Amino acid sequence: MKITLSNVSFEYSGRRVLENVSMEFETGKLYILVGKNGSGKTTLLKVISGLLEAKGNVFIDGTPADPLTLRKNVGYVFQNPSSQIIGATVEEDVAFSLEILGLDRDEMQRRIKRVLELVGLAGLEKEDPLNLSGGQKQRLAIASMLARDTHFLALDEPLSMLDPPSQREISKVIEDLKKEGKGIIIATHELEYLEDFDVILHMRDGRIDFCGSWEVFMDKGFEDVEVPFKWKLWKKIGKETKWEVEDADTFDER
C-alpha cells in the first residue's frame, strides 16, 4: 500500500506550518523524519494519520483519501503514551481501541493476544497500565494501534521519554513491525537506536528539504540534527560490516 501526498499545506491560526509537501510512503518501509522543533514534523504525521485535514491531495494507492479513510489505515501514537492509555488493565486498554470497530468478542480476544505477543507484553494482560515502565507503556500504545490492523503506524517521538534500555526495546519492536510489512513513519530527535530504516527525511519551515539515504544525509551536514557517533563509524568502515557498537564513547578508533 502507498500513501501519496501532493502539494499538502496546513495552517494554524493563519500561520503556515506545512508548505506544499509532496511525498510517498510505502508499507514495509521505515521512514525517519527529523528537523528542529516547529519544523512541521508532528503536523505532517497528524495529516498522514487523518487527525488533521490539510489543503492539497492525499491518495491511498492512487485513490483520493479523506481523513476517515486515513484513520482506518494509519495508527497514530502520541509522544507521551500515557496520554492515550485509558484502560484499567493492559488488555482492556487494547480492547477499547477495538470496541468502535464492532468486532465480536472472539475476534477481539484473538487480536489482543496477537498484538500483545508482537510487542512483548504477553503475560501482562491483567496488569494496571500505571504500573508499567516507560518502555512498556510505549509498547502498549503501539499495541492498541496495531490491534486495529492498520497498514501504517505514525510515531511521534517514540524514544524521547525513555531510558536507553527502553529505547532499545522500542527500536526492536519497530524493526519487527517493519518485517511484518507495516509502514512505519517516525518523527524523532533520538537516532541512536534506529538502524534498519529505509529513508530519512529532513524538514525545515514546513517543507521537506531532504529525502534519501543516511549516507547522503550525513554528507549534507544538517546542523539541527545530532548524528549518532556510530553513524560516523558506519560512514568510515561501512555499515555492511554489521559491527555492533554498543557504546560508541568507548570504541577505540583505529
pTM: 0.87
List pLDDT tens digits, range 69-108: 999 999 999 888 888 888 899 999 999 878 877 788 899 9
pLDDT digits (tens, 9 = 90+) for 158-173: 888 788 888 888 888 8
> What's the confidence (pLDDT) of residue 243?
46
Any idea which residues carry the catalytic annotation?
157
Our count of domains for the chain comes to: 1
Residue 195 predicted with pLDDT over 90:
no
* CATH number of domain containing 195: 3.40.50.300
Residue 178: which of 142, 223, 222, 213 has the closest Cα?
142
- Domain extent for 161: 2-250
